[in-house]
Chain A
Amino acid sequence: MAETYKIVIGLEVHVQLLTKTKLFCGCRNKFGLPPNSATCPVCLGLPGSLPVMNREAFRLALKAALALNCRIASHPGHPPGFTKWDRKNYYYPDLPKNYQISQYDLPFSHDGWLEINVARDPKKEFTPKRIGIIRAHLEEDAGKNTHDESGRGGDTRVDLNRTGTPLLEIVSHPDLNTPEEAITYLEEVRLMLRELGVSDCEMQEGSLRCDANVNIHVPQPDGTHHETPLVEIKNLNSFRAVGRAIKYEAERQYEEFRKDTRGEYRFGKWLKETRGWDDTRGQTEGQRHKEEAADYRYFPDPDLVPVVVSQEQIAAVKAEMGELPQQQRSRLVGQYGLTAYDAGVLTAKGRRTVAYFEAVAAAVGDGKTAANRMSDLIFPALSDRREEIDAFPVPPAGFADFLKKTGPLSKQDRVHLLGHMLDHGADVDRAMEATGIKPQTFDEGTLRAKVAEAVAANPKAVADFKKGKDAAKMSIVGAVMKANRGVPNDVVRRLVDEELAKA
C-alpha cells in the first residue's frame, strides 16, 4: 500500500549537564533549591561581573559529542579544535544580561550520528538506522519565569537558580520518520547520556527538553512530492507527548494540505510556525504571541577567550567513555546468543543491570537462561519493590545458585521461592526448606502415564490442538503440572508433545 504521506521529523534536544557548578560561575548546579538561592553577581548579570568557563562542563559536553560520533570543532579556515563563544541577544526577564552565551557559527562539535533500532515488530525484527546529528553545542540556560495563572493578573516571578546552568543542545537532521522513531531516538539519547554521567535527563525536572520540527511529504502521482510548511512544536513535557504531538501535527498538516486548493500550503511559502502542544486537549496550538522573525545579532563574546580542543583531550575523554549502548547490544547478542530484543531490554536497564546479568550468565554458563530468568523474576520484583539493581538483596552468585537449583521447577514455583528469599533474606536452600517447594524425583514412565491420562481426559483440547491452537497444548501441560507439583516443566512439555502426536 502506498503511504498517504511521509512524516519528516528533526529534534532539538537540550540537556543540562551534571556539573557541580554552573557554566560560567561558581554557583551550585542543583534542581529544587529555594528560588534565587543559587545565584551570584555573574549569573545575575550584575554590571562588572565576568564569565569564566567551567572546564568540567566542557569535558562532559565533549564526552557526549564523541558518543554522538561528532567531529570536534573542525571548521574550515580555523585551526583544528578551534571553537568560540557567541552572544545571542534578546530581551526576556529570565535572562538577566539580555543575552545568552551560546555558540553560533563555530560549535565545538558537529556532523555526527546516532544509531537507533527501528523495529516494525519489536519482538522480532531490528533494523539499525542512523540519525544524523547536525551539531551539538554548549550554552547557558536561562532562568525560569513563573506566571500567575489564576487570571487575577498577579506578578510574574523569576527564579534565577537555573540561569547559567550548562546546557548541551543536540540538533538532529530531519531523519526521523515516525513518532515511534522519535521516541526511540530520545530514549537512546537519554540512555547514553545517563550511562556516560553527562546528564540525568529528567524531563519532569527540565534537565532534558525537546522541541520537534515536523512537516510531511505528500507523494504525487508523477513521483515527486509536496512538502508542507515546517512547524516547530514546543512545550513537550514527556516522551509520550512527543509521540502524540508528532502524530497529531502530521494529521493536522495533512488536513491543511487537503483543504488547500490553491497550492499555498507549501514549504517555503510560509514562515516556520511555532506551535505549542496542549497535552490535556491533545492538540497543537498556534502560539498566541507570534514571534517576529528574530534577529539575535550573534557576535563573539569578548569576555571569553576561544577554546582550542587538543587531540590529547579528545583521546582522554574517549578513553574514559566505556561501552556505548549500541556497542553493548551487539556484544550481548554475539557473546551470549541473546535475541536483539533481550539485549535491548538489558541495555535499556543500564550498565549496572548488564553487569549483574553478565555475572549470573558466567556462573550458570548460559546467557539466554540468565536473561530470561532476570526478565521473569528480577525485573518484576524490582518494580514491585521499587528498587534499583544495586539494592537487590540477592547478589548475582545467589541468583545463579537459585537458577541451578530450581531448573526443573515451574515459573510459578520459582516466583514463589524467590519471593520467600526476598521477604526473609534467605538463600535458596533455606527457602526450599521453609516452603517445601523443591524439584521432585520422578520416574519418566509414571509421568508419561499421567500425561497420557490427561490427554485422554481432554478430548476437546486435543481436537483444538489438531486444529492448530497451540494454547490448547499448554492447558494440558498446566493440568499435569498442577497435579504433580515439582515435576520438571520441560520434561512435561516433551511428554505432552509426544503423547499428542500419538493421539
Chain B
Amino acid sequence: MSLADKTAAELVALQAAGGASAAEVADAFLAAVRDREPKLRAFVSVDEAEVKRQAATVDAKRRAGQPLGRLAGVPVAVKDVLCTRGVRTTCSSKILDNFVPPYDAHVVERLKAEDAVILGKTNMDEFAMGSSTENSALQTTRNPWDTDRIPGGSSGGSAACVAGRQAPVSLGTDTGGSIRQPAALCGVVGVKPTYGRVSRYGLVAFASSLDQIGPFARDVTDAALLLEAVAGHDRRDSTSVDRPVPVYTRTVNDPVAGLRIGVPKEFFGEGLDPEVETAVRAALKEYEKRGATLVDVSLPHSPYALAAYYIVAPAEASSNLARFDGMHYGHRTKQKADLIGTYSKSRGEGFGKEVQRRIMIGTYVLSSGYKDAYYVKALKVRRLVKKDYDEAFERCDVVMGPTTPTAAFRIGEKSDDPLAMYLSDVYTVSCNLAGIPGMSIPCGFTAGGLPIGLQLLAPPFEEEKMFRIARMYESVTDWHTRRPGV
C-alpha cells in the first residue's frame, strides 16, 4: 500500500512512530498528483519545490525535538478561494488570474500552525458559483469514479483530489452545498460546519452570510481532525463565534445512545432518483439496527429554500464581487474607455457567464422597487427555514436524508440549463440558510458504480455529536474504503 493511500490520522501516527518522513509522504502525494492530474485536473496550482520545502521543515522540527502540530507532515489541498500568502489565488476566475494575496486566510494560518503541508490549490466553480466545477475559467475537473462526469461543485477540485487519493484531506467552502454535494458525488466525507465555527478571514466571499469553510476527507475521523485544526474564534472575522472547539477526534468513536433520527418527508419527494432513495433508506435501516429511532419530521418551508437561496446568495454576491473592477488589482480591459466603460469592459471580460448571471440577479433583487418583493421576502423565508429546523430538533438529534437528488451527471449535461443545475442543491441549501452544521458521508453506489451520499444535519455547534453519529454508520459499512478506478 502506497503512502498516498493512507488517511491523515494514519500519516500522523506513522510519522510520529518514525515509519515515514514528511518528505516521503509529500513525495508520495506529489507522485499521485503527477500520475492522476492529467485525468482529474483537480488542481489549479501545485508548487512541488514549495511542498518539499514545507515537508523538510516539518522533518527538521521533528529531528530537533520541537513540538509538532496535530497535522504534522499531512499534505492538505486548499480550494483556490482561500487566500495563500505569496501564492496566486484565482477563485478559478480570469478576473483574478494574476492576484497574489499578501496574507494567508485564517484557516491556512491554522494549517501551517499545525505543521500541515499545503499541497496545492484546487479547482472550483468560478467564485464558488456552481454545482459541477464546469464554471471554472481555468479547467474542467473530472469525477474520479467516471471521468466523463462532473465531480460536483463548487468545491469540485477539493472533492476529486481526496477521492482520487491525490491528497489525504482538503478544505473547501460551502455556501449552498458546495462541500456536501461534491463529497456525495465523489464518495468522500464533506462537512459544512455551523456558521461562525470557522473564521472566514481570507476566504474570498461569495455570499458572506452563508459561506463556511469545511473539510473533505476519506473518513469521518479525518474530517473531524481537520475541522478541529481549523475551527475557532478569530478576531478578524466579526461573525466567527467565540466558543471552545471540542477535540472531535477524541469522541468520534463513541456511539450516541438513544439516537433519534429525524426523517423529513420533504427530502424524499419528486425529483429524487430511486437508486439514491434506496441507498439512503438502507442507511436509515442500518441506523435502526444500531438502536436508533426514526422520527417523522417536517420542514414545511424547505420547498421555498432554494428560491430564497437564489435571491439571498446573489444579492450578497453582487455587492461582494463589486470590488473586482480592474481599478486596483485584477484584470483590467485593454480597450480604451471612460470610467464606466472600463468598469463594464473589465468585468465583462473577466467574469464568466454564471457569475455575470448571478451578479445581475443580485443587483435586480436589491434594486428599489424590487427589493421588498424579492430580497426582503427571501429573508423572511430564511427565518422560517431556520424555525423549521429549530422545531425539528426538538424531536430528534439529527436530520437525515439524501445529499443530492441524483448521482454525478455527465460533463455538459446541465451546462445550458441553469435551473436544472440549481436543483442539484435542493437538499443542501436550507442548512446554509439556517446556519446549522451538515455533512455528507458515503452510503452506497448506483448500479453504474457512482457514489451516493447520506446527508446529516445537526443543531448549531453540535458537530461533535454529528461526527459520532456519522461514525456509527461508517464503522459498520465499507463504502468509504472503496477506491475509484482512476
Interface residues in chain A, defined as those with a beta carbon under 8 Å from any beta carbon in chain B: 41, 44-53, 87, 89, 91, 93, 96-99, 158, 295, 297-299, 302-305
List B contacts of A295 (CB < 8 A): 367-368
User: Of the candidates A52, A97, A304, which one forms a contact with B236 in the assembled complex, judged by CB atoms under 8 Å apart?
Assistant: A52
User: Of the candidates A41, A93, A97, A99, which one forms a contact with B103 in the assembled complex, judged by CB atoms under 8 Å apart?
Assistant: A41
Interface residue SS majority, chain B = loop
List A contacts of B323 (CB < 8 A): 45, 47, 96-98
A-B pairs with lowest CB-CB distance, top 5: A98-B322, A302-B209, A302-B208, A297-B366, A47-B204
Q: Which residue of B lies closest to A299 (CB)?
A: B366
List B contacts of A46 (CB < 8 A): 101-102, 329
For the complex, give the distance between the alpha carbons of A305 and B238 in Å. 6
Q: Which residue of A lies closest to B83 (CB)?
A: A48
Distance (Å) between the CB of A232 and the closest chain B CB?
19
For the complex, give the distance between the alpha carbons of A295 and B82 in Å. 32
Cβ-defined contact, A53 with B203, below 8 A: no
**A–B complex contacts, Cβ < 8 Å, 5 sampled:** A41-B101, A47-B101, A48-B105, A51-B238, A93-B327
Cβ-defined contact, A89 with B204, below 8 A: no
Tell whether A98 pairs with B208 under 8 Å between CB atoms, given A48-B202, A89-B319, A295-B368. no
Cβ-defined contact, B238 with A52, below 8 A: yes
Contact of B201 with A by CB under 8 A: yes
Cβ-defined contact, A48 with B319, below 8 A: no
List B contacts of A93 (CB < 8 A): 327-328, 339
Cβ-defined contact, B200 with A50, below 8 A: yes
For the complex, give the distance between the alpha carbons of A99 and B89 in Å. 23
Contact of B237 with A by CB under 8 A: yes
User: Of the candidates A48, A98, A158, which one forms a contact with B203 in the assembled complex, judged by CB atoms under 8 Å apart?
Assistant: A48
List A contacts of B205 (CB < 8 A): 47-48, 303
For the complex, give the distance between the alpha carbons of A299 and B315 in Å. 9
Cβ-defined contact, B83 with A50, below 8 A: no
Q: Which residue of B lies closest to A44 (CB)?
A: B328
For the complex, give the distance between the alpha carbons of A298 and B239 in Å. 20
Interface residues in chain B, defined as those with a beta carbon under 8 Å from any beta carbon in chain A: 82-83, 89, 91, 96, 99, 101-103, 105, 200-205, 207-209, 235-239, 315-316, 318-319, 322-325, 327-329, 339-340, 343, 363, 366-368, 371, 375
User: Of the candidates A50, A96, A299, which one forms a contact with B238 in the assembled complex, judged by CB atoms under 8 Å apart?
Assistant: A50
Cβ-defined contact, B96 with A303, below 8 A: no
Tell whether A91 pairs with B203 under 8 Å between CB atoms, given A48-B83, A52-B236, A305-B238. no
Q: Which residue of B lies closest to A89 (CB)?
A: B319
Cβ-defined contact, A52 with B235, below 8 A: yes
Cβ-defined contact, A45 with B238, below 8 A: no
Tell whether A87 pairs with B319 under 8 Å between CB atoms, given A44-B328, A47-B96, A52-B235. yes
List A contacts of B375 (CB < 8 A): 299
Q: Which residue of A lies closest to B82 (CB)?
A: A48
List A contacts of B237 (CB < 8 A): 50, 52
For the complex, give the distance between the alpha carbons of A158 and B325 in Å. 15
List A contacts of B319 (CB < 8 A): 87, 89, 99, 297, 299
Q: Which residue of A lies closest to B105 (CB)?
A: A48
List B contacts of A99 (CB < 8 A): 319, 322
Q: Which residue of B lies closest to A24 (CB)?
A: B238
User: Of the candidates A49, A297, A303, which one forms a contact with B363 in the assembled complex, judged by CB atoms under 8 Å apart?
Assistant: A297
For the complex, give the distance between the alpha carbons of A96 and B327 in Å. 8
> Which of A45, A51, A298 has the largest number of chain B CB atoms within 10 A?
A45
List B contacts of A89 (CB < 8 A): 318-319, 322, 366
Known: A50-B236, A89-B319, A302-B239. 16 other contacts (CB 8 A): A41-B102, A46-B101, A48-B203, A49-B202, A50-B237, A89-B318, A89-B322, A96-B323, A96-B328, A297-B371, A298-B366, A299-B316, A299-B366, A302-B207, A302-B316, A303-B239
Cβ-defined contact, A53 with B325, below 8 A: no
List A contacts of B235 (CB < 8 A): 52
For the complex, give the distance between the alpha carbons of A194 and B339 in Å. 39
List B contacts of A41 (CB < 8 A): 101-103
Cβ-defined contact, B83 with A47, below 8 A: yes
User: Of the candidates A48, A87, A96, A98, which one forms a contact with B201 in the assembled complex, judged by CB atoms under 8 Å apart?
Assistant: A48
Distance (Å) between the CB of B48 and the closest chain A CB?
25
Cβ-defined contact, B322 with A97, below 8 A: yes
Cβ-defined contact, B101 with A48, below 8 A: yes
Tell whether A91 pairs with B208 under 8 Å between CB atoms, given A44-B328, A48-B202, A303-B239. no
